[in-house]
């Protein structure tokens, strides 16, 4: 078996990735497929940390949150990521992995608090660490949390899992002539206003020389091909 290109990665999963074809919530079959991809890579010896979003849960209450104070709405979104993290961790534990959930918000009866040294030790022990509640601060996205946690746990790359298999010159769902970027620099992503991550996360990764790969988690074997360094998704680098 070939040697993986990366030994420690930070996987960014949006909450929508857990929805499948549902309008909101958690689709069990979809979660099990994601777990299978993570397990395949973990069994190769790759250490995996995950930052999870909460859009799938928050979408179900979004109308009720309209007009709310932004900070309060963001805290609600953080709690949604905790729900997703617990669900994903449970699925991983049932699927043959050992997962630990750490939250940036203190909810100790439910999940562990985020402690950097403990997270790194879990990774070294072969456990999957799931980071919930973003950065713990309003006004910052889970993309930014992925960049921050990726740097903190000394990941070699941030893997942004989406429904599209990379970054394109235009929306491939609307423009059939759109082509995928195989590689692109951070500066090019800024100049061309490409939707890789939010600007804060992108700038943090650029400044910390932490590459990003945008790929489809729904493409069978996609995660493994990225880990092996194959031409999968779009690599964003310095």
Could you tell me which residues are annotated as the binding site for UMP? 54, 74, 135-142
Give the residue numbers spanning the domain of 174: 8-237
Asked if residue 3 belongs to a domain, the reply is no
Which of 197-207 are b and which e, b meaning 16 or more Cβ less than 10 Å from the residue's Cβ?
beeebbebbbe
Asked if residue 133 belongs to a domain, the reply is yes
pTM attached to this predicted model: 0.94
Asked if residue 2 belongs to a domain, the reply is no
| Residue among 76, 71, 64, 88 at smallest CA distance from 11 | 88
Q: What are phi and psi of 76, to 5 degrees?
A: -60, -40
Asked if residue 36 belongs to a domain, the reply is yes
Binned at pLDDT 50, 70 and 90, residue 64 comes out as: low
Residue 29: pLDDT over 90 = yes
Total domains present in the chain: 1
Q: What is the CATH number of the domain that holds 110?
A: 3.40.1160.10
pLDDT digits (tens, 9 = 90+) for 84-123: 999 999 999 999 999 999 999 999 999 999 999 999 999 9
- C-beta separation of 119 from 153 below 8 A: yes
What pLDDT does 1 receive? 58
What pLDDT does 201 receive? 96
What pLDDT does 37 receive? 96
Could you tell me which residues are annotated as the binding site? 12-15, 54-55, 59, 74, 135-142, 162, 168, 171
Q: What are phi and psi of 189, to 5 degrees?
A: -65, -40
Using the structure block, give the residue that is written with the tokens 């970027």.
Answer: 181
Q: Which residue stretches of 97-173 are H helix? A: 116-124, 142-152
What pLDDT does 47 receive? 98
Q: How far apart are CA 14 and CA 43, in angstroms?
A: 23
What pLDDT does 50 receive? 98
Could you tell me which residues are annotated as the binding site for ATP? 12-15, 55, 59, 162, 168, 171
Tokens of 85: 């993290």
Asked if residue 34 belongs to a domain, the reply is yes
Asked if residue 40 belongs to a domain, the reply is yes
């Amino acid at each position: 078996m070939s040697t993986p290109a990366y030994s420690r990665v930070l996987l960014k999963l949006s909450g929508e990735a857990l929805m499948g074809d549902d309008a909101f919530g958690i689709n069990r079959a979809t979660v099990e497929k994601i777990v299978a991809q993570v397990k395949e890579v973990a069994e190769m010896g790759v250490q995996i940390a995950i930052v999870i979003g909460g859009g799938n849960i928050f979408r179900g209450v979004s109308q009720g949150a309209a007009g709310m104070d932004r900070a309060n709405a963001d805290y609600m979104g953080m709690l949604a990521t905790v729900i997703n993290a617990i669900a994903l961790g449970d699925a991983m534990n049932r699927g043959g992995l050992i997962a630990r959930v750490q939250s940036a918000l203190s909810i100790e009866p439910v999940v562990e608090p985020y402690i950097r040294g403990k997270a790194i030790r879990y990774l070294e022990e072969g456990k999957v660490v799931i980071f919930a509640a973003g950065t713990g601060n309003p006004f910052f996205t889970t993309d930014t949390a992925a960049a921050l946690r990726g740097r903190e746990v000394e990941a070699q790359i941030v893997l942004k899992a989406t429904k599209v298999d990379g970054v394109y010159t235009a929306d491939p769902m609307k423009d059939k002539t759109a082509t995928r970027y195989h590689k692109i620099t951070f500066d090019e992503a800024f100049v061309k206003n490409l939707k890789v991550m939010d600007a804060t996360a992108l700038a943090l990764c650029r400044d910390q020389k932490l590459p990003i790969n945008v790929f489809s988690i729904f493409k069978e074997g996609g995660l493994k091909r990225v880990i092996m360094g194959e031409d999968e998704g779009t690599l964003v680098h310095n």
